[in-house]
Amino acid sequence: MAVNPFDYVKAINEKRPIDNHSGYTPFLSNRAFSYNLDTILAANEMNKYPDLPPEVQFAFMNEAIRKGRRYSSWYKEQDTPNLEIVMQFFGYSKAKALEALQVLTQENLKEIKERMDTGGR
């Protein structure tokens, strides 16, 4: 039976043991637990020791985290208008373009759009 990476998170939340740890991905489990206040410290502790075998990491998380229901949505980046245009126009990385967008005015953005317009359909 194939085990979904989130089945491990569910098993830790329900305090169920799992025998097969071949599909356990510590990164995904740590990320899932980092969104809750009562489990963030355990997730951070496992992030300090990425070389531990999956069985040990699962055992630690299963013992360190109390039984409970934890539902949280994963962080998704918000769509920033004009980001691609600024990145392309100045040749900036995403981080630099976000900083530039804080400084640029609507008039500056309009001028950049006009210069970037190549015409056509």
Extended beta strands in 8-69, E state: none
Q: Is the pLDDT of residue 9 over 60?
A: yes
Determine if the pTM surpasses 0.75. no
User: Of all helices (H) and strands (E), which one includes residue 76?
Assistant: none
Q: Is the pLDDT of residue 1 over 60?
A: no
pLDDT tens-digit map of 15-39:
998 888 888 899 999 999 999 999 9
Report domain 5-64's class: mainly alpha
User: Of all helices (H) and strands (E), which one includes residue 40?
Assistant: helix 40-48
Q: For residue 119, what pLDDT is reported?
A: 77
CA distances from 5 to 9, 32, 87, 94, 105 (A): 7, 10, 35, 30, 45
Rounded Cα distance, 110 and 82, in Å:
10
Q: Is the pLDDT of residue 51 over 80?
A: yes
Crossing angle of helices 54-64/26-33, nearest 10°? Answer: 20
pLDDT tens-digit map of 69-121:
988 888 888 888 899 999 999 999 999 999 999 999 999 999 999 998 887 77
33 class by beta-carbon count within 10 Å (0-12 exposed, 13-18 middle, 19+ buried): buried
Domain boundaries, the chain: 5-64, 83-116
Q: For residue 2, what pLDDT is reported?
A: 56
